[in-house]
Structure 1
Amino acid sequence: MTPGWQRFALGDARITTVLDGARHADGPHPTFGADRSQEEVAALMRQNLLPETRFVNGFAPTLVELGDDLILFDTGFGESGKANGYGKLVERMAAAGYAPDAVTIVVLTHLHPDHIMGLMTAGQPTFAKARYVTGAREFGWWTSDEAKNGERAGMAETVATFVVPLQDKMTFLEDGDAVVPGITARSAPGHTPGHMIFELESSGQRLMLTADTANHFVASLQKPDWKVGFDMDHETASQTRKRVFDRIAAERIPFIGYHMPFPALGYAEKLDDGGFRFVPESYQLAIANEDA
């Protein structure tokens, strides 16, 4: 694995995940399992050989080369995150051989700060030659009076600063719409009102970009019903997690999760109790490309 980025092929697509940074935090309780006891969450961590009172959360924007396009999914923290060790997307893109001006499309899975703050650098668009894509419902909610005047007003202000100035170059998607041929938007609400995931298909191979459907590779997947502090609608988010990962597990589709352990790529195995186990990708895709 190349530090900070990793590239693999999926059919005719070339995909690169980039580590924008990693947050070391106290927890995982109550961020994960706020509706459970601290001991129950700690026990799950012990069972999975993880620390009981600390966790690490990575941030993994993804680049997809497909046809004539270089498509970037989410943008990390940008320059405002550098003081905390984040905001490494552009420098790590350069290490992987990509300049910001090479990006033709920026897709925003949803409009939380860790996905949008890399859109601007020194007040100017970071990806100056790109057009932008996000969900119509997502953009509509964050620019609404409800968002601006409610408990998430600070996040709405961040959207106003980083996203709204780009709206003239923005395409708004509904469920089932295509970003480009071969990349389809799927509605996956709960984490935010208009959160979307994306299905990539190339030469008969498939991949799901699940964004923040699951925020922790153990707590969110093994216990999809547990409350997650980052989710705006806990019940809908739980239903979405189970629906999305039921399909990924049943159809054995590899997925990239924005907060999965870097390089953020793996599979989901359905467990007998209804949860899922994260299985990191090892050589499955290399063999699939050999056999194609």
Structure 2
Amino acid sequence: MNTGFKISRRAALTGAAALPLAAGLGSGAAAQVAQKGGQMPRVNRVMLGDFEVTALMAGTATREAPHEIFGLNVDDATFEEVSAEANIPTDKAQFFFTPTLVNTGAELILFDTGLNPEGIVAAVEAAGYSADEVTHMVITHMHGDHVGGLTDGNGPTFANAQHVTGQAEFDYWKGTDNATFAGKVAPLADRFSFVGDGAAVASGVTAMLTPGHTPGHMGYMLESGGKQLMLFADVANHYVWSLAYPDWEVSFDTDKAEAAATRRKVLDMLATDKVPFIGYHMPFPALGYAETRGEGFHYVPHSYQLML
């Protein structure tokens, strides 16, 4: 559409700059308006067939020196070049912790719990539910940022929920001297039931073994109404430094070679089949797609595809 209206960039900038001054003329001393600071939404809800899928913001944290976490097998120059191309800094990174709540109509299934009980309970309540309504509490793996909200030491946070995790994951951590397992998981051991690769947590919710980050790390494929969405937890921990470059080593991965192989396998499947996913540490709301790009992949954030 051609309206015949034209304005130069210089004129537009000049006019915009003049607006605050013009608005203040004749108004007397301007009142001070308190700023509120940055804010992010706590929930993001989409429909997948008959499933209601809600990403929960259970917390976020800034981490220093990201090259000490990601790309351990690449030099500083490569890390800086890749970061510059993605327009992200190299001295700090922002981590997101995104559990997912799935309402199947018959079950209310929570995947992972964030860093602490307070954060996950607040997020569940922001989504319109209570902790007592959760029927299944599924743990993808037993790092502290996933099991931290299981208990405050006085009992389970989700007292009415059946607790579910991978058998291999539980057995591995049970055999270690790990304080997080001892404090968060072991006290609830009698509440857990165990699944293996291909097992169903509920109808349309299937466990997928995705090892490497931890020995028994599980992803979960959701399927309803002919649509699919994968919850891939920590298969990739960053949208550039891990997802885009799946062979880059990550300090948190227990078996770095196996983790890289799993990343490639899962991302190739998602890109080929055009299946959306929620990644626990992707920028909130952590929902998007993977596309093949060169020898790696590219993260495409969800816009409105699942709204249609």
TM-score (normalizing by structure 2): 0.85
Q: Secondary structure at the match of 2:63?
A: strand
Question: Is the counterpart of residue 109 in structure 1 residue 140 in structure 2?
Answer: yes
In the comparison of the two structures, how many residue pairs are matched? 270
CA contact (8 A) 2:119 2:149 kept: no
State the Cα deviation string for residues 223-260 of structure 1 (Å, max 9, x = none). Answer: 10011011010000000000000000000000000000
Question: Is the counterpart of residue 283 in structure 1 residue 304 in structure 2?
Answer: yes
- Match in the other structure for 1:153: none
Q: Secondary structure at the match of 1:51?
A: coil
- Equivalent residue in structure 1 for 2:191, among 169, 193, 196: 169
Q: Secondary structure at the match of 2:83?
A: helix
- State how far apart, in whole Å, the 2-side matches of 1:20 and 1:42 are: 30
State the Cα deviation string for residues 73-108 of structure 1 (Å, max 9, x = none). Answer: 0001115xxxxxxx5221122122110000000000
- Match in the other structure for 1:128: 159
Question: Is the counterpart of residue 48 in structure 1 residue 86 in structure 2?
Answer: yes
- Equivalent residue in structure 1 for 2:212, among 181, 190, 198: 190
Q: Using a 3 Å threshold, how does the CA distance of structure 1 residues 51 and 2 change in structure 2: closer, same or farther?
A: closer
- Equivalent residue in structure 2 for 1:23, among 61, 65, 89: 61
CA contact (8 A) 1:217 1:260 kept: yes
- Equivalent residue in structure 1 for 2:102, among 64, 76, 93: 64
**Which residue identity is paired with 2:202?**
V
Question: Is the counterpart of residue 226 in structure 1 residue 264 in structure 2?
Answer: no
- Match in the other structure for 2:4: none
- State how far apart, in whole Å, the 2-side matches of 1:2 and 1:46 are: 25
Q: Secondary structure at the match of 1:142?
A: helix
**Displacement of 1:34 after TM fit?**
1.0
CA contact (8 A) 1:16 1:63 kept: yes
CA contact (8 A) 1:109 1:135 kept: yes
Question: Is the counterpart of residue 254 in structure 1 residue 276 in structure 2?
Answer: yes
Q: Secondary structure at the match of 1:221?
A: coil
- State how far apart, in whole Å, the 1-side matches of 2:65 and 2:286 are: 21
- Match in the other structure for 1:152: none
Q: How does 1:180-219 map to 2 (within 5 A)?
A: 180-219=202-241
**Displacement of 1:36 after TM fit?**
1.1
**Displacement of 1:25 after TM fit?**
1.2
- State how far apart, in whole Å, the 2-side matches of 1:168 and 1:181 are: 24
State the Cα deviation string for residues 27-73 of structure 1 (Å, max 9, x = none). Answer: 32021011111221111110011112111110000000003110000
Please say which structure displays the higher CA radius of gyration. Answer: 2
State the Cα deviation string for residues 205-229 of structure 1 (Å, max 9, x = none). Answer: 0000000000000010111001101
**Which residue identity is paired with 1:245?**
L
Q: How does 1:135-174 map to 2 (within 5 A)?
A: 135-144=166-175, 147-148=176-177, 156-174=178-196
- Match in the other structure for 2:261: 239
- State how far apart, in whole Å, the 1-side matches of 2:153 and 2:209 are: 33
Question: Is the counterpart of residue 7 in structure 1 residue 45 in structure 2?
Answer: yes
- State how far apart, in whole Å, the 1-side matches of 2:40 and 2:80 are: 32
CA contact (8 A) 1:22 1:57 kept: yes
**Which residue identity is paired with 2:72?**
A
**Displacement of 1:2 after TM fit?**
7.4
- Match in the other structure for 2:200: 178
- Match in the other structure for 1:271: 293
Q: Using a 3 Å threshold, how does the CA distance of structure 1 residues 2 and 45 change in structure 2: closer, same or farther?
A: closer
Relative contact order: is structure 1 or structure 2 higher (C-alpha 8 Å, sep ≥ 6)?
1
Q: Secondary structure at the match of 1:75?
A: coil
Q: Secondary structure at the match of 2:73?
A: coil
- State how far apart, in whole Å, the 1-side matches of 2:182 and 2:153 are: 16
CA contact (8 A) 1:30 1:38 kept: no
Task: Extract unaligned runs of 5+ from structure 1.
Answer: 80-86, 149-155, 288-292
